[in-house]
């Protein structure tokens, strides 16, 4: 199940190139193919991986950590815990991915010959103590791991053993906090150390230094930060956590995370941190980042035709498609398409979306305005459709025999805001998100979330409309974005299909 953005004119591209909750992008190229991985936090499976031939149109081809032997997220893993900041590289005929599980075991490394998988079971890296690990190889085969702080240590990537003590490198600008997300590159006569700094909020930025060896010493770029939108009213904010890639025509490009705040003051972003693309030139041995915007000139090569697949899943396959995610774990005992052919069956674990162990299957919200629908048969239990940020911030419509009700969880408040009786049998649940186009008041929220059901004749019966600001990072905190999906809160519930469609141009 994949949904693309609306087709763009051939001389421009739409940014973000991977919309929705896809933060901390890391990119590599193998021949004519590009591959990109993102953080996944408390979601299972972990680390979505994408493929592109043109840097613009991306297709998810799998998840790197898709087995319990690779990814352990204990039931108590908090939202915004779990998997942080992968680095993806192609070296010596293999793909390598190094990442941090902050909730279980720290840093780990996996490999594959095909980035679509399967990926190996992890090699643990107990001697690498920081988050956001990077991996790079010197010409003599030495493997360097650099991580947030910024520190560096030599490692054996096959065993996970550290080879000597860590040493401190360049830690960014003197007046910037949180040097993190390091990436090390050998380009021309220099080794370049790219980092994020300033924190992952409005002060986020990208800075760079260079040295003659991978261990430094490093001199900072005189024009740091090379990219930041801090202190501006630019529609893309929180820009940082970048990675560089060289195209076959020798041009250079940067992928990075950013957010699109909406509404009035202070601005609320609801989709999480998204993946953006921007061109890079090299002048006097330093990268100069081009203008980042939501509509940009297209790269100079032919673009691949954008995929426009259906946003509907009829659950006819034995396994769920790769964009579907659950919370912390997923087992066939609680989630299956085989029990009732053509339906997704969910068996309840936790009693509600307030519980960390709830049975939930969802997809990232990728458009500022969108519609999600599902046909549920609640005859054997209770469950429904939800738009979720975390356990304390979600809106959901729940169906049980004879009734639907809408609940809003906003921090410590948990309120049933609407309900109505329904006839026995399946019912179509619906959530519509409409972005605010005109700000009439500084306190205007970013969007409205309409929740209701469809009548037997297909007409929409709205039960309530809620302010979307309460499902935003500015309210909830954390590092994730909205996910829309299905859940079971008691017994067993069955879903015949799920549909998602953008409602914006």
Helix, coil or strand: residue 471: helix
State the DSSP code for 469: G
Q: How far is the CA of 133 from the CAs of 145, 149, 289, in angstroms?
A: 6, 10, 24
Which of the following is catalytic: 24, 134, 432, 447?
24
- Residue 145 backbone phi and psi in degrees, to 5: -115, 120
Q: Is 501 a known active-site residue?
A: no
Structure tokens at 496: 């015949």
Which of the following is catalytic: 180, 377, 390, 432?
180
Q: Is 151 a known active-site residue?
A: no
What DSSP string runs through 411-444?
Answer: TTEEEEEEEEE--SS-EEEEEEEEE--S--STT-
β 252-259/43-44 pair status: unpaired
Helix, coil or strand: residue 69: coil
Structure tokens at 457: 């004749």
Burial class (CB in 10 A: 0-12, 13-18, 19+), 53: middle
| Cβ pair 402, 364 in contact under 8 A | no
Strand ranges, E, within 318-369: 326-327, 335-336, 344-347, 359-364
The distance of Cα 371 from the centroid of its chain, to the nearest Å, equals 20
- The CA distance from 225 to 173, in Å, is 8
Q: Which of 114, 77, 133 is nearest to 123 (CA)?
A: 133
Active site residues: 24, 180
């Amino acid at each position: 199940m994949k949904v693309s953005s609306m087709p763009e004119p051939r001389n421009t591209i739409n940014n973000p190139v991977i919309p929705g909750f896809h933060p901390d992008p890391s990119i590599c190229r193998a021949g004519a193919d590009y591959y990109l991985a993102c953080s996944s936090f408390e979601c299972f499976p972990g680390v979505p991986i994408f493929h592109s031939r043109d840097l613009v149109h991306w297709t998810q081809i799998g998840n790197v950590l898709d087995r319990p032997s690779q990814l352990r997220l204990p039931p108590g893993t908090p939202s915004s815990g779990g998997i942080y900041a992968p680095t993806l590289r192609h070296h010596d005929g293999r793909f390598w991915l190094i990442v941090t599980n902050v909730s279980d075991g720290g840093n780990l490394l996996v490999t594959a010959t095909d980035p679509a998988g399967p990926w190996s079971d992890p090699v643990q890296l107990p001697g690498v103590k920081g988050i956001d690990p990077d991996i790079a190889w010197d010409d003599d085969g030495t493997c360097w791991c650099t991580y947030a702080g910024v520190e560096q240590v030599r490692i054996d990537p096959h065993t996970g053993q550290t080879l000597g003590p860590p040493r401190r490198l360049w830690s960014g600008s003197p007046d910037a906090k949180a040097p993190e997300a390091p990436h090390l590159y050998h380009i021309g006569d220099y080794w370049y150390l790219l980092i994020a700094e300033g924190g992952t909020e409005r002060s986020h930025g990208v800075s760079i230094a260079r040295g003659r060896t991978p261990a430094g010493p490093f001199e900072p770029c005189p024009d740091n930060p090379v990219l930041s939108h801090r202190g501006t009213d630019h529609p893309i904010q929180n820009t940082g956590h970048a990675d560089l890639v060289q195209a076959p025509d020798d041009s250079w490009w940067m992928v990075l995370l950013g957010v699109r705040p909406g509404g009035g003051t202070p601005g609320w972003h609801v989709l999480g941190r998204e993946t953006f693309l921007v061109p890079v030139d090299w002048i006097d041995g330093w990268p100069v980042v081009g203008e980042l915007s939501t509509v940009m000139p297209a790269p100079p090569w032919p673009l691949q035709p954008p995929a426009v697949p259906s946003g509907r899943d009829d659950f006819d396959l034995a396994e769920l498609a790769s964009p579907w995610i659950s919370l912390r774990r997923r087992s066939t005992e609680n989630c299956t398409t085989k029990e009732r052919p053509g339906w997704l069956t969910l068996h309840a674990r936790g009693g509600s979306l307030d519980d960390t162990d709830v049975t939930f299957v969802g997809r990232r919200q990728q458009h500022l305005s969108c519609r999600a629908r599902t046909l549920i048969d609640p005859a054997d239990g209770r469950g429904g459709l939800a738009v979720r940020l975390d356990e304390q911030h979600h809106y959901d419509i729940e169906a049980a025999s004879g009734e639907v009700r809408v609940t809003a969880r906003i921090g410590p408040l948990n309120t049933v805001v609407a309900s109505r009786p329904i006839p026995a049998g399946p019912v179509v649940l619906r959530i519509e998100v409409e972005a605010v186009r005109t700000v009439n008041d500084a306190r205007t929220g970013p969007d409205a979330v309409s929740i209701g059901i469809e009548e037997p004749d297909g007409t929409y019966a709205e039960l309530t409309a809620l302010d979307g600001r309460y499902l935003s990072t500015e309210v909830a905190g954390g590092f994730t974005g909205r996910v829309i999906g299905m859940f079971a809160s008691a017994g067993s519930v069955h879903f015949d299909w799920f549909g998602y469609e953008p409602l914006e141009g």
